[in-house]
Structure 1
């Protein structure tokens, strides 16, 4: 091994130790700040923030007024809604129902995303500010936990869970409607990315032929857009740190305090 190669190996080792002892903590602190800022945007109490449930009113409609909803989004629930549905039977029929604050419609996606976000922050909190990392595997393990929580939280808001018509009709949320809808009609409120969506589903039986119709209306929810941006920034910063650590983890002999005779690629 030449003197040049020895010097290169030594410099790589020094850089590795600097990254473990300095840069990892700096990056985790930056990620922590982003995630706490994300938590502040949620309309529910989260990570020690005494957030009063935020209240927003939205109008969702499908022209020509086949479906119209005036909804109040309060925290992680729809606390009030006036819903008008036009359905074609023998003739055009107008159906009205509502949601009242005593029986709100729960948007579980918000609470799920909040729980995953809080878990990601706790993973960072578990690392003491003066803790000395001893290997790249240690850092990658923590980053894997953070990335997993953030990916699950972001997915909770972007990808709504699909349900069969039967499940929708029997769901607890459908009992929030007063009066109840006819058995051949169901509605569903859910989030998809930065939008609140109401979907209308109708089954019809025409001489033994069962037909399934659906329509939906949507509106943008400003705080959801902000939350998703911060989730994405947090994920990008985690991934950047992981990529940097992975460069060093290629070298089997790199551990804190060691002076490798030569970098050995795995």
Structure 2
């Protein structure tokens, strides 16, 4: 077996050339990276900002003193339980301004009719919270406009992590409604919204689930011995699509 010996003089003579080539290559890469930070990153952030502005616009944020100018939308509810719940809801921005509900009592031909009192409106906190998170993401992007100079890729990643955190929170508020226990629902302000008042064994809840406006009505039935059976009737209607591409 033959072993080839490297020429130490040749290897040493090539080191300056290799070192120079590496320095040139590194300088080129740094120049390209700086160009990406200065030009391409801001172009992508601008596109994202435009998408989020459109998402924010869909939430129809009311202008103080001009709330009445917001478009009102009526939603005819369709029941998923053999038409036990029917009604019309009026949504203005993030607020339910009117509700007209007919509830067919279980195992009876009786139909109960409820409306929002004239002096009452119900704010959908989910819409307000989701809008706030989208606006916080927009503020993060606005604070890093084209005049801002990113120094490292890690800085870009940190910004995007913060933006995506807000968008994830916005999406979760629309896709995961806060569940209320029956005692919480019974003592909530929603039960004081209706005229005539709902009976003590009937409770209702409004919420957003994905792109749907939902109404759930609960009828409680006392069962011996001292047990309570809860019957839930769901009524849903597709809402204006609030979940844009940026929120999915």
Q: Structure 2 matches for 1:73-152, cutoff 5 A?
A: 73-88=91-106, 91-152=108-169
- State whether structure 2 residue 211 is matched by structure 1 residue 183: no
Q: How many angstroms does 1:197 deviate by?
A: 0.7
Change (3 A) 1:51 1:172: closer
Of stretches 37-46 and 22-31 in structure 1, the one that deviates more from structure 2 is 37-46
CA distance in structure 2 between the aligned counterparts of 1:19 and 1:102, rounded to whole angstroms: 56
CA contact (8 A) 1:106 1:173 kept: no
Matched residue SS, 1:132? coil
Query: CA offsets per residue over residues 48-103 of structure 1, 9 Å max, x none?
Result: xx9942211111132533111111111111111111111236x4432211114520
Aligned-pair RMSD on alpha carbons? Answer: 2.3
Q: How many angstroms does 1:45 deviate by?
A: 3.1
Equivalent residue number for residue 240 of structure 1: none
Equivalent residue number for residue 54 of structure 1: 71
CA contact (8 A) 2:78 2:237 kept: no
Q: Structure 2 matches for 1:231-242, cutoff 5 A?
A: 231-232=246-247
- Report which structure shows greater RCO (CA 8 Å, sep ≥6): 1
Using structure 1 for the length normalisation, give the TM-score.
0.77
Q: How many angstroms does 1:10 deviate by?
A: 3.8
1:64 to 82, 85, 103: 82
Equivalent residue number for residue 163 of structure 1: 180
Using structure 2 for the length normalisation, give the TM-score.
0.82
Number of residue pairs aligned between Structure 1 and Structure 2: 226
Change (3 A) 1:94 1:51: closer
Change (3 A) 1:37 1:52: farther
Higher CA-based Rg: 2
Matched residue SS, 1:88? coil
Q: Structure 2 matches for 1:194-233, cutoff 5 A?
A: 194-208=211-225, 209-221=227-239, 223=240, 225=241, 227-232=242-247
Q: How many angstroms does 1:161 deviate by?
A: 0.6
Change (3 A) 1:51 1:71: closer
- State whether structure 2 residue 31 is matched by structure 1 residue 22: no
Unaligned runs of 5+ in 1: 236-266
CA distance in structure 2 between the aligned counterparts of 1:110 and 1:101, rounded to whole angstroms: 23
Q: How many angstroms does 1:5 deviate by?
A: 5.3
CA distance in structure 2 between the aligned counterparts of 1:78 and 1:186, rounded to whole angstroms: 17
Change (3 A) 1:106 1:217: same
